[in-house]
Structure 1
């Protein structure tokens, strides 16, 4: 999904706020986001992929003004509403009235795993597909259409474009793909590189 959550490589958002401690939580309510997610996972109402996609679907203005844990709770609440466990009206009533509790936009169509995706080995040259799907996608926008090299292979996992949308999901490898910094961003001149983990369906062999 080509949305506000895919911010890698983008400019114009200013510097990240400096955090001088290593504390995971800074408010008493923040651990509840993970507690609710764990409980929802036990019931089959939440997975990592559906949770990530629910956060991706948060409207840009709400996404940008929310903290990490606020986004997590909004995404969880959206999934609870979609499962019929609570209504948006009930959430707003508890939060302070109409317009007080944003939700993610409705879930759209998922994207199928490629049935004849190629298998790669370490050292193979690849190019990332340039398609921006409407559903959940784990290929960052900044590497779409870019050339890289396979430097490692991870165990198979459910394809996110399917499992995030409650579609029977294929298992496929993710590949550790190294990109030269200058391939991703033309102004890079220091010889640096970036390694991105990408599912097989996002890759084509570079002939």
Structure 2
């Protein structure tokens, strides 16, 4: 989905803050967001794709004012509520009252794998489909409609547009696609390139 989480290549956010240490956590509660995910995974309530989509669904206001682990916590709490393991009012009561614990909006329809998707080999030219599904997608918006070249092929994996929505997911190859920097952003003049991993359903042969 074209949500606030998909901000790769966007301008206007200023410089990244300087990282002053290599610590993975900075507050005692932060590791427990991963513990909640691992426990949910054992019960079939969480996958990487459903977890990512729960975070993508966070409202732009709540997403931008939350830190990384706060977003994970909101996403996990959303999945727990959607599986009827918790109630939203119970979370808000513990957090400080009504409006104190945001959840992601309700999940919508997923994106289906293309059953007759093309297959590619290393060296093939491709173009990324210019689609904006309402469900989970792993195709960054900055490469929609852009042309690139296959430079590698990964083993097949579950298609995330289906996996995140708990439907029977097709297995697809992920292609490593190299894009010239100038193809993605017109102001790039240094000859650089970017490699993006893209599922087969996101790609077409060029016209």
Shorter-chain TM range is: over 0.9
| 1:124-135 equivalences in 2 (<5 Å) | 124-135=124-135
SS of the residue 1:196 aligns to:
strand
Alignment of 1:205 with 2:185, yes or no, is no
Report what 1:136 is aligned to: 136
CA distance in 2, matches of 1:30, 1:181: 36
Report what 2:3 is aligned to: 3
Report what 2:58 is aligned to: 58
Provide the aligned C-alpha RMSD in A.
0.6
Give the Å deviation of 1:16: 1.7
Report what 1:122 is aligned to: 122
Report what 1:187 is aligned to: 187
Give the Å deviation of 1:158: 0.5
Unaligned runs of 5+ in 2: none
CA distance in 1, matches of 2:173, 2:91: 39
Misfit runs of 4+, over 2 Å: none
SS of the residue 1:113 aligns to:
coil
Which TM-score applies when normalising by structure 1?
0.99
CA distance in 2, matches of 1:22, 1:155: 32
Report what 1:167 is aligned to: 167
Give the Å deviation of 1:130: 0.2
Alignment of 1:106 with 2:118, yes or no, is no
- Any idea what the Cα deviations from partners look like across 1:182-204, whole Å, max 9, x if unmatched? 00000000000000000000000
Give the Å deviation of 1:206: 1.7
Unaligned runs of 5+ in 1: none
Q: More displaced, 19-28 or 191-200?
A: 19-28
Give the Å deviation of 1:47: 0.3
Report what 1:74 is aligned to: 74
Give the Å deviation of 1:14: 1.8
- Any idea what the Cα deviations from partners look like across 1:148-205, whole Å, max 9, x if unmatched? 0000000110001001011110000000000000000000000000000000000001
Report what 1:38 is aligned to: 38
